[in-house]
Every structure is written in structure tokens, then in C-alpha cells.
Structure 1
Amino acid sequence: MYEHILVPTDGSPGTMNALAHAQEIAGPDSTIHALSVIDQRIYLAAGGDQQDAVIQFLREDAIDAVDDVVDEMPRTMATTEAIREGVPHRVILEYADEHDIDVIVMGTHGRTGRDQLAALGSVTERVVENARCPVLVVHIDQ
């Protein structure tokens, strides 16, 4: 069994598939870490007068994404919630290192259009290539 399990979430429905697998490999003393990353590249690309609105929208989206994961957890299982800003794959890897994560459980792709076109989303691919811990990649059906 794994003690610390990281489930990155972007709020896509596929996250629940990944969460189900995370719960299956969790033991009675495990903690599920729900992490949502606000992609700074999105709000930095917005015009200066729109950045605040974009950041607020992304923050609310991230809060909802983490809340959805926590809401699906049994009350008896320990959970940790985190929202960070940055480049998603980098933040996921940093979080895993900082919190001694034993395994990362994530879907094959997220909800961004470009990621859905690829067999393995770019965030997932970069996490798999660079993680110091095992990564369980769960196939997400369209």
C-alpha cells in the first residue's frame, strides 16, 4: 500500500476515473493529495486588463476541481487539498518531491483541446518522464 498518493486534477470528468484507482491502491493509513494547478501561461497570455478576471476564473475552477475530488472521498480516508500556480507538470513534480509522494495517479489526458487530441496528454507525458516516484496512468475514455 502507498502512504501518500497524489491525484492531480484539472476538473475534467476523467479525474474521477483516476481517483477510483487511487482509492483502490490506498491503505487504511493512506492520504490522498488532491492538487489543482492554475496554469500561469493562460493568464500571462491574457491582456493586462483581463488578467485579474482570468486568474479569478482559473482559481474558482481549481477550487471546484479539488472540492470534487474531496467530495468523492470516503470520510474515513485522509485527504489533503492544494492549489498552486505555475506550469502544471513542473508544479506536480515539485509537489510530489516536497510531500514525499509515493505514487502519482493521473489520467491519460486533461480537458484542454490539444491534450485530448494526443494519446497521452502533454502534462501526463512530462510527469511520467520526470517523476522520481511511480506514476499510475489511467486511461480516460472520451
Structure 2
Amino acid sequence: MYNTILVPHAGTPAGDIALKHAISAAKSSSAKIILLHVVEQIPRPPMFALSSSEQKKLLKNIHIADEDFRRGMISEMEKRVKICDDNNIKASITVTIGLAADEILKIIKKQKVDLVVMAKRRKLKGLKSLLTLGSVSRKIVENTACPILLVDIEKNE
């Protein structure tokens, strides 16, 4: 039924619970899992407030910090790939830098994802819950035709 399952993962226990659901879905359909972590960009001050040399130094330091975070998350995601391997599920890691919702939508399209499994924390029910989804979940739901499994973390803890 599914070939490629995307699990956006922040390196948290909530993401691990979503991964368990993705593994279950992957087992029943021989799908592969893509673990995605998006490193949010460090906010930048207005460049007009800095001299040219200060701008260059700041941008270099931000780039170094972004890359350090990215490498750290690759290491964290490798632990989750091991869990997939232990369950005989093929898994890969993608760590990008940007805005979470935008990067998730890019990967869905680029990798031809046919299921997204992600965590949610809201307790509301029905239409009210859809209207109050977190900004990332809501943007994904509104901007892709791909099926999305939102795992209620509070019920799975």
C-alpha cells in the first residue's frame, strides 16, 4: 500500500512514538522510511544594522552553527535508523536547514512520499482539533494530497 513513509522527527520522544507507528505501517507494506529533521535557521538581525565585515563574520558564524546542529541531528537520527534496521525496515536520513513545514513539503514532493507519520499533542476533538493543529502540522495537511497520520502523543505516552 505504501512505498515511502516520511517521519518528520525533532529528536524527541514524541518523534520516537511517531516512528513506531511508521515502522508498523512499513512492515505491513514493505515500505522504506525517510527520517527527516529540519534544523530551523538561526534568526538573523537586520543586515543594515551591521558593517560589511560584521555581516560576513555573523553569516559565517551562523553557517557554522547551522552545520554543527545538522551534524548533531544526523548522529541522533542514526540511532533511529538502527531501530528501523532492527525491524528489517529500510530507512534513510535527511537533515536540512530551513523552515520545517516548507522542507517537509519539499521532501514529500521530491521523494514521492505516500504517507507522512508525525506527532501531534493537541487533545481537542473533531473539526476543532484540525483548526487548532500546530502550525507545521496544519501547513502539511493543507498543502499536500499525501495521506498523513497524526499520532496523538498524549494517548501513546
Tell me which interval the TM-score lies in, with the shorter structure as reference length.
0.7 to 0.9
Paired residue for 1:114?
none
The two structures, once aligned, show a CA RMSD in angstroms of: 2.3
User: Aligned pair 1:59/2:60, yes or no?
Assistant: no
Q: Is the CA contact 2:70–2:96 (under 8 Å) kept in the aligned structure 1? A: no
Stretches of structure 2 lacking an aligned partner (at least 5 in a row): 46-54, 122-131
Identify, as 1 or 2, the structure richer in strand: 1
- In terms of Rg, which structure is larger? 2
Paired residue for 1:74?
85
Cα displacement string for residues 53-84 of structure 1 (whole angstroms, at most 9, x for unaligned residues): 53144213421342232122134211121111
Change (3 A) 1:43 1:66: farther
Identity within the alignment, %: 30
Task: Out of 51-60 and 90-99, give the one that drifted further.
Answer: 51-60
Stretches of structure 1 lacking an aligned partner (at least 5 in a row): 110-118
2:97 is paired with a residue whose SS is strand
**Number of residue pairs the alignment of both structures matches:** 131
Cα deviation, residue 28, structure 1: 5.3
Give the alignment's TM-score, normalised by structure 1: 0.79
1:23 is paired with a residue whose SS is helix
Identify, as 1 or 2, the structure richer in helix: 2
Cα deviation, residue 43, structure 1: 5.0
Q: Is the CA contact 2:119–2:151 (under 8 Å) kept in the aligned structure 1? A: yes
Change (3 A) 1:33 1:50: same
Q: Is the CA contact 2:5–2:113 (under 8 Å) kept in the aligned structure 1? A: yes
Change (3 A) 1:61 1:10: farther
Displaced runs of 4 or more, over 4 A? none
Q: How does 1:1-142 map to 2 (within 5 A)?
A: 1-26=1-26, 27=28, 29-40=30-41, 42-44=42-44, 48=58, 50-75=61-86, 76-108=88-120, 120-141=133-154
Cα distance in 2 for residues equivalent to 1:12 and 1:6: 16
Give the alignment's TM-score, normalised by structure 2: 0.72
